[in-house]
């Protein structure tokens, strides 16, 4: 480690088994951690039920009535394939050990069989990573191999009206996720630079995946009217891919700047936190929980103002006092009420803001685990630390900064700063 330049080089004395695979002994904790969403399962008599969409031929295995309605109308056991109404799943008397094919009046049609697989630690969302502002936009050759599959995969049929892929010059790939790529593009008619998120439809076949993509698009649309949120420029699709054209923010993200500066002056942290508060309150007033506030998702524009990005973890449709229960987020930023399995609301965003402010001013996470013991470098141990370990505020911080951090990092959401129903954001 060169302390003058802040450069850290990690060397692993081995080679990966396959391209793209980690080296034996490679420590993944040194890399950025993406947000994850654990699929919601309901356990009854050994069954593992998951909410599903069904077609008109699906019947409930408990009451034998047709399962119908909007959205995900019923539950399906991921093991024995039993279908039931949501209202009936707690009444199922049969254990999951029995083979249900010969007993139940119906099975889900074969066309949905590919959706039966469940990956409990599920998706990572696709953020728009930083591009240092001194990078030029004319070096297309290096990334041509990455962009080529996007072009080759098109069938040339534009479904959406208005703009299409032919209206943009593809410059380079600037981000990758579990189900999407993010490209830097130029709109031909005015040479304006944008980011383009490309989603393969074949990777978005599960009901929950579809919901996440629809939610992300909807939040992008609403975010367009707020100066501290990355907004949507346009969207279109072909038969094989979805395209979201969004604002491109060229100042880098806070993670990039923190890696260079280690920690920020309190005045800078206060400025960024104030703009983040305005962005979060904008979402909350529209019934949206952000659920993925972290250094990676706070971008800086050319004038030094922040913009939040990546709405893949957002939850819509919540009013004052409403709650949800999905277990999701980036491990270091997950609020205690989520880890306890409790219903939660907008409080989780204010907890994440407290963690973010701590990182900005202290130069480290409030839950840093520095040990050679492999048992203490696990996700479960991190969650235990978040739930049980008291947070120690560094002594070099001012009294006001310490007071704000203690307010946001209160493990009781009812007492947390910004979480009172009446005074909330004004606090």
Residue at a domain's end among 247, 277, 302: 247
- For the annotated binding site, the residues are 201
- For the annotated binding site for ATP, the residues are 201
CATH number at residue 59: 3.30.60.20
Residue 6, phi-psi category: left (phi > 0), alpha (psi -120 to 50), beta (remainder): left
* 182 domain residue, yes or no: yes
* Catalytic residue chosen out of the listed positions 292, 296, 310, 349: 292
* 84 domain residue, yes or no: yes
Regarding whether 133 and 99 lie in a shared domain, the answer is no
Predicted confidence (pLDDT) per residue in 114-127, tens digit: 333 333 333 344 44
Any idea which of 29-38, 63-72, 284-293, 404-413 has the lowest mean pLDDT? 29-38
Regarding whether 412 and 285 lie in a shared domain, the answer is yes
Predicted confidence (pLDDT) per residue in 201-232, tens digit: 887 766 667 888 889 999 999 999 999 999 99
CATH number at residue 420: 1.10.510.10
Regarding whether 167 and 103 lie in a shared domain, the answer is no
Regarding whether 133 and 279 lie in a shared domain, the answer is no
Regarding whether 336 and 221 lie in a shared domain, the answer is no
- Provide the domain limits for residue 219: 125-247
Burial, 313: exposed, middle or buried (Cβ in 10 Å; 0-12, 13-18, 19+)?
A: buried
Residue at a domain's end among 56, 86, 115: 115
Structure tokens at 150: 């996007």
* 14 domain residue, yes or no: no
Structure tokens at 425: 């954001």
Could you confirm whether 322 is annotated as catalytic? no
Start-to-end CA distance of the chain, whole Å, equals 42
- pTM to 2 decimal places: 0.69
Regarding whether 372 and 318 lie in a shared domain, the answer is yes
* 20 domain residue, yes or no: no
* 22 domain residue, yes or no: no
- Cα(9)–Cα(28) distance, integer angstroms: 14
* 27 domain residue, yes or no: no
How many domains, the chain? 3
Regarding whether 204 and 82 lie in a shared domain, the answer is no
Regarding whether 78 and 208 lie in a shared domain, the answer is no
Regarding whether 408 and 273 lie in a shared domain, the answer is yes
Q: Cα–Cα distances in Å, from 152 out to 119, 141, 145, 200? A: 30, 17, 11, 13
Any idea which of 147-161, 246-260, 295-309 has the lowest mean pLDDT? 147-161
Residue at a domain's end among 247, 277, 301: 247
More confident residue, 411 or 79: 411
Regarding whether 279 and 219 lie in a shared domain, the answer is no
- Cα(379)–Cα(368) distance, integer angstroms: 12
Predicted confidence (pLDDT) per residue in 331-347, tens digit: 999 999 999 989 999 99
Regarding whether 316 and 219 lie in a shared domain, the answer is no
Regarding whether 279 and 243 lie in a shared domain, the answer is no
CATH number at residue 198: 3.30.200.20
């Amino acid at each position: 480690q060169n302390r003058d330049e802040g450069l850290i080089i990690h060397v692993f004395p081995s080679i990966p088994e396959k391209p793209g695979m980690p080296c034996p002994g490679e420590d993944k904790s040194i890399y950025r951690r993406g947000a994850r969403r654990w699929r919601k399962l309901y356990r009854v008599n050994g069954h593992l039920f998951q909410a599903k969409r069904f077609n008109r031929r699906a019947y409930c295995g408990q009451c034998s009535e047709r399962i119908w309605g909007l959205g995900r109308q019923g539950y399906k056991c991921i093991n024995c394939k039993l279908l039931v109404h949501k209202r009936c799943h707690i009444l199922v008397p049969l254990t999951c050990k029995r083979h249900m094919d010969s007993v139940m009046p119906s099975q889900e049609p074969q066309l949905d069989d590919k959706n039966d697989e469940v990956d409990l630690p599920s998706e990572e969302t696709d953020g728009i990573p930083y591009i240092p502002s001194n990078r030029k936009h004319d070096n297309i050759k290096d990334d041509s191999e990455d962009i080529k599959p996007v072009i080759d995969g098109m069938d040339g049929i534009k479904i959406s009206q208005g703009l299409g892929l032919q209206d943009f010059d593809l410059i380079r790939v600037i981000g990758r996720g579990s189900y999407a790529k993010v490209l830097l593009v130029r709109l031909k008619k005015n040479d304006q630079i944008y980011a383009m998120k490309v989603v393969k439809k074949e990777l978005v076949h599960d009901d929950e995946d579809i919901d996440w993509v629809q939610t992300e698009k909807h939040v992008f649309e609403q975010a367009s009217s707020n100066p501290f949120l990355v907004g949507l420029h346009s969207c279109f699709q072909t038969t094989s891919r979805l395209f979201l054209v969004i604002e491109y923010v060229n100042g880098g993200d806070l993670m990039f700047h923190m890696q260079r500066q280690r920690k920020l002056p309190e005045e800078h942290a206060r400025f960024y936190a104030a703009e983040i508060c305005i962005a979060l309150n904008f979402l909350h007033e529209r019934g949206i929980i952000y659920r993925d506030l972290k250094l990676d998702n706070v971008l800086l524009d050319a004038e030094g103002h922040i913009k939040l990005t990546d709405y893949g973890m957002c939850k819509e449709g919540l009013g004052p006092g409403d709650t949800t229960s999905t277990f999701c987020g980036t491990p270091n930023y997950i609020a205690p009420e989520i880890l306890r399995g409790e219903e939660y609301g907008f409080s989780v965003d204010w907890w994440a803001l407290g963690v973010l402010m701590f990182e900005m001013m202290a130069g480290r996470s409030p839950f840093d685990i520095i040990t050679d013991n492999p048992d203490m470098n696990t996700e479960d141990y991190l969650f235990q630390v978040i739930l049980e370990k008291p947070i120690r505020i560094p002594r070099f911080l001012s009294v006001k900064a310490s007071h704000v951090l203690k307010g946001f990092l209160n493990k009781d959401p009812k007492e947390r700063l910004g979480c009172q129903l009446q005074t909330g954001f004004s606090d």
